[in-house]
Structure 1
């Protein structure tokens, strides 16, 4: 596997972990731009009200070109391309625009407890209990419907020193630059 392929895999993993989501993008918001061929893209879907008053759909892809921190929020800027389809299923048009989208780090699980006990020897009034090494790991799984997992992950992360949006944007921009070189 080449360095470029490895970096592409890292970016795909990071982008999947970031859970990029389209929020309030407008086709008329910015000028068109061409996406980089080596940077992986993210599928984006959405809905709109068509001319007949029905619900149309948007299906496309977002290819990031840069990351920035704005007011403590990580933003991904890149090219959004896709197709608009009206409620009757007819293709209304295509979109190719530069947009900025909020990016959030999605945490699938978090470690709650990692406890290791060495060997134990108990003599309880003649009843001898020998216990070898014990390693207990408790992990909370967060996600839709996982109330206790979501709660424990939120509580466990309260005192963590998470990198700020600016530091994360710098790391992601460095990876994008490596992919383009």
Structure 2
């Protein structure tokens, strides 16, 4: 449960176009952490279905992009629902960071008392919080998050892969 919570907190999601796009891994991957298994489903051109899980074992950088290498297991069924076969194979899949939020403004104004030539204005405490949500189609949220993190050091895919591999190693020891 801790591993699932950690992955949810990191906001990681695995993307791909289906079983046909999964490339076999070049080298043997370390043992996967089974608590991190991600459900994978898809359909075939003739109406069949695939249902299984992808369990990451290692993260790496390929051409500047973050990828996860792990074990894909599942069952392929035809259009009538009859099982055609099962799969257990090492694959490499691209990794994207899911929607994230960033704090744009957190303004707290204390109580205010104004007396302007007989016009009295009393204002209680005001707490204004503005957050931007990064996701596909959220143009303003993406722009504001990019601006707020303009001077931050952006981790490279290789640096992020090293961090994720360290987390996987720690989870494998549980």
TM-score range, shorter chain: 0.7 to 0.9
Matched, 1:26 2:20: yes
The alpha-carbon distance between structure 1 residues 126 and 29, as it changes in their structure 2 partners (threshold 3 A), is closer
CA-to-partner distance for each residue in 1:58-107, whole Å, 9 max, x for gaps?
11000000001122211011000001111121111111111111111112
Q: Distance in 2 between matches of 1:27 and 1:127?
A: 70
Q: Tell me the residue number matched to 1:109.
A: 101
Q: TM-score, normalised by structure 2?
A: 0.80
- Cα RMSD of the aligned pairs, angstroms, is 2.8
* Aligned-pair CA distance for 1:128: 1.4
CA contact (8 A) 1:33 1:97 kept: no
Q: TM-score, normalised by structure 1?
A: 0.77
CA contact (8 A) 2:30 2:57 kept: no
1:153 pairs with one of 129, 134, 141: 141
What SS does the corresponding residue of 2:146 show, helix, strand or coil? coil
CA contact (8 A) 2:111 2:123 kept: yes
CA-to-partner distance for each residue in 1:128-166, whole Å, 9 max, x for gaps?
12223321012345668xx6xx12221112232342222
Q: Tell me the residue number matched to 2:75.
A: 83
Q: Distance in 1 between matches of 2:168 and 2:143?
A: 33
Q: Tell me the residue number matched to 1:128.
A: 120
1:13 pairs with one of 4, 8, 13: 8
CA contact (8 A) 2:57 2:70 kept: yes
2:91 pairs with one of 99, 111, 115: 99
> Paired residues, what number?
167
Stretches of structure 2 lacking an aligned partner (at least 5 in a row): none
Q: Distance in 2 between matches of 1:130 and 1:157?
A: 34
**Greater strand fraction, Structure 1 or Structure 2:** 2
